[in-house]
Copies of this chain bind each other. A is one copy, B any other.
Amino acid sequence: MAQSRSRKFDEIAGVGRALGHPHRVLLLELIVQGGRPVERLAQLASLSTANASQHLQQLKRAGLVESQRSGKQVIYRLKDETVLHLLHAFQNCLEQQRVEIDVDRKERVEIIFREELMRRIRNRSIILLDVRPEDEFAQGRLPGAVNIPIEQLAKRIRELPKHKEVIAYCRGSYCVLSLEAMKLLNATGRRSRQFVEGYSGWRTNGLPIEALV
């Protein structure tokens, strides 16, 4: 019994350790956006392929991701939904820690909550703007979202109607792309709010997504 207890602690510690290196957290967050081959993940994380491969294998050993060969590539994807919840729990923990510091950020931009957003997606009474890179958008997105990656937004902002409210989102609450977008939108006189939880928060809540085209 004592043995079985301590095995539990070892197992939890094993998962903790897997999340105990920033590169692995980053890789995991990238995988949340959609399964991808090692080389692409390495690129996105600015790691050598070998290094990324090894980190990915650690995530796999911890049971957080799984891999599957497809042609000459190996695709890594999330093992299951509980991993999303785990990541979310980490983020909540950290957010709690900086309630005061966050006042800046939280109070300066207007935000929209999930319930209202769901209603207004159905109504089509808003423009839903996804500012993540194209490939992440292609992997999956909120229903009806339009994609203008943040680097292109300044140039392409005229594509967005001036008198409809814009809701911007990006990867999730840890991601600041949509905050950048808010600045641009507000600067052009558009009414805009941020959906803080982003793509990963949407998925975490089991809500429907669109993928491919």
Judging by beta carbons under 8 Å apart, are A22 and B5 in contact?
A: no
Q: Is the CB of A90 within 8 A of B12?
A: yes
Q: Is A180 an interface residue (CB 8 A)?
A: yes
Stretch at the interface among A32-40, A81-89, A140-148, A191-199: A81-89
B21 touches A91 (CB 8 A): no
| A15 engages B174 (CB within 8 Å) | no
What are 24 A-B residue pairs whose CB atoms fall within 8 Å in the complex? A1-B177, A4-B176, A8-B174, A9-B25, A9-B29, A11-B94, A12-B94, A13-B21, A15-B19, A16-B16, A16-B18, A16-B19, A16-B90, A17-B17, A19-B19, A63-B97, A79-B97, A80-B96, A82-B89, A82-B92, A85-B89, A85-B92, A85-B93, A89-B89
On chain A, the number of residues with a Cβ less than 8 Å from chain B's Cβ atoms is 47
Most buried by B among A6, A8, A79, A87: A8
A22-B9 contact, Cβ under 8 Å, with A85-B89, A85-B92? yes
Let me know if A207 is at the binding interface, CB within 8 A: no
On whether A22 and B1 interact (CB within 8 A), knowing A82-B93, A86-B90, the answer reads: no
Bound: A96/B63 CA distance, A: 10
Q: Check B13–A93 contact: CB distance below 8 A.
A: no
Counting CB contacts under 8 A, is A26 at the interface? yes
A24 touches B (CB below 8 Å): yes
Q: Check if A20 sits within 8 Å of B25, measured CB to CB.
A: no
Closest residue to A16 on the B side, CB-wise?
A: B19
Which residues of the other chain, B, contact A4 by a CB distance below 8 angstroms? 176
Residues of B within 8 A of A176 (CB): 1, 4-5
| Nearest 6 CB-CB pairings of A with B | A16-B19, A17-B20, A89-B89, A9-B22, A16-B20, A20-B20
